[in-house]
Amino acid sequence: LYGLISLGLNFQMGSTDMTNFASAAFFGMGAYTSALLSTKLGISPWLGLPAGTVAAVLLGYLIGLPTLKTRGYYLSLVTIALQSVFTLLIINTDWVGGPNGVAGIPAFSIGSFSFRDPIKVFGLALPYQVNYFYLASALLILGAYAASRLHVSRVGLAWNAIGEDETAAICQGINPTISKLQAFCIGAGFAGAAGSIYAHYLSFIGPEDFDFLKSLIVICMVILGGMDNVTGVVVGASLLTLIDEKLRDLIESAIERKKR
C-alpha cells in the first residue's frame, strides 16, 4: 500500500519537481470515502474502492487547481497547510466519526468468502492478512505498470520537461498548470485506492492514520528509492516499511524486558 502511494507521489516529486506534503490527505480521502459508504450506506467495498479513488482525484483537482500556479517552497507550504486542514476537518466533523474515527468497516469478500477468513492450504491455515497481501500486490503491479507507461508517454515527457526547466517547457508549447494538475490528480488517485484497501483491511480508521507524519514517511520512501524511478520507489517503500515494523518489535521487546 505504501508502494502504491509512493508511486503516485513520484509523479509529482520525481517527474514534475513538486514537493507535496499532503499525500496522507488523499490517502485518508480514499479510506474515509470507502469506509463511510460501507458502514453508513451498506455499499460493497468493491464499489467503495473505485469510489474512494475518484473522491481522492476530485480532492486533488480541487486542491491543485488554485495552488499549482505556485512554485518551489510556496507550493510546499500550501500543501502543508492543506494537510493540516484535512486532519482538523476530520477531527471536528461528527458525521465522519470525529476524533473517534470509523469502526466496524466490513472486509472485502468474494461470494461467501470474507477476506478476514484464513486461507487453508494443504491443511494449513494461513492468516487472513494473506488475502489483503495478494489484493494489494495485484493493485501495486497494476499501478507500477501504469506508472512505467506514463513515464515514457507524451504526458510523462511533459512532466520531465517541466521538472527540468519550466520556462523551456512553456516555450515548447507545454501548459505547466494542466500538466501539473494531471500529475497531482493521478497521484491522488493512487493514494485514494491504497486508502480504500487500508480501511477495509484494518476495519477501523482514525485521524491519526492520515496525519502529517504519514506524508513525511511517504516522501522519505520516494527519496530513498530514487525519484523518477518506478522500481526504486517501490523498493524504498518496502525498505522503510520493513525497518519501521522491525524497530517497533525491538522497542516492544525492550520494554517487556525492562518490565521484567
Q: How far apart are CA 243 and CA 135, in angstroms?
A: 22
pTM above 0.75, yes or no: yes
| Burial environment of residue 42 by CB neighbours within 10 A (0 to 12, 13 to 18, 19 or more) | exposed
CA dihedral angle for residue 253, residue 254, residue 258, residue 260, rounded to 10 degrees:
20
pLDDT in tens, 40-89: 898 999 999 999 999 999 999 988 887 777 776 788 888 898 899 999 99
Per-residue pLDDT band for 35 (boundaries 50, 70, 90) equals very high
C-alpha cell at 66: 488554485
Give residue for cell 461470494: 111
| Burial environment of residue 58 by CB neighbours within 10 A (0 to 12, 13 to 18, 19 or more) | middle
Cβ neighbors of 247 (< 8 A, separation 6 or more) are: none
Per-residue pLDDT band for 28 (boundaries 50, 70, 90) equals very high
Q: Are the C-beta atoms of 51 and 34 separated by less than 8 Å?
A: yes
pLDDT in tens, 2-27: 999 999 999 988 888 888 898 999 99
| Burial environment of residue 248 by CB neighbours within 10 A (0 to 12, 13 to 18, 19 or more) | exposed
* pLDDT, averaged across the chain: 88
Give residue for cell 517527474: 15
| Burial environment of residue 8 by CB neighbours within 10 A (0 to 12, 13 to 18, 19 or more) | buried
Going by DSSP bridges, is the β-strand pair 109-110/119-121 parallel, antiparallel, or unpaired?
unpaired
Q: What is the pLDDT of residue 16?
A: 87
C-alpha cell at 95: 458525521
Q: 75: helix, coil or strand?
A: helix
**Does the pLDDT at position 169 exceed 90?**
no
C-alpha cell at 239: 525498505
Higher pLDDT, 137 or 69: 137
> What percent of the chain is predicted at pLDDT more than 70?
99
Strand partners, 170: none
Q: What is the pLDDT of residue 133?
A: 92
Q: What is the pLDDT of residue 200?
A: 93
Could you tell me which of 157, 145, 171 has the C-alpha nearest to residue 230?
A: 145
**Does the pLDDT at position 258 exceed 80?**
no
> What percent of the chain is predicted at pLDDT more than 90?
43
N residues, the chain = 260
The residue type at 231: T
Per-residue pLDDT band for 165 (boundaries 50, 70, 90) equals confident
Give residue for cell 476530520: 90
Mean pLDDT across the stretch 123-151?
A: 90
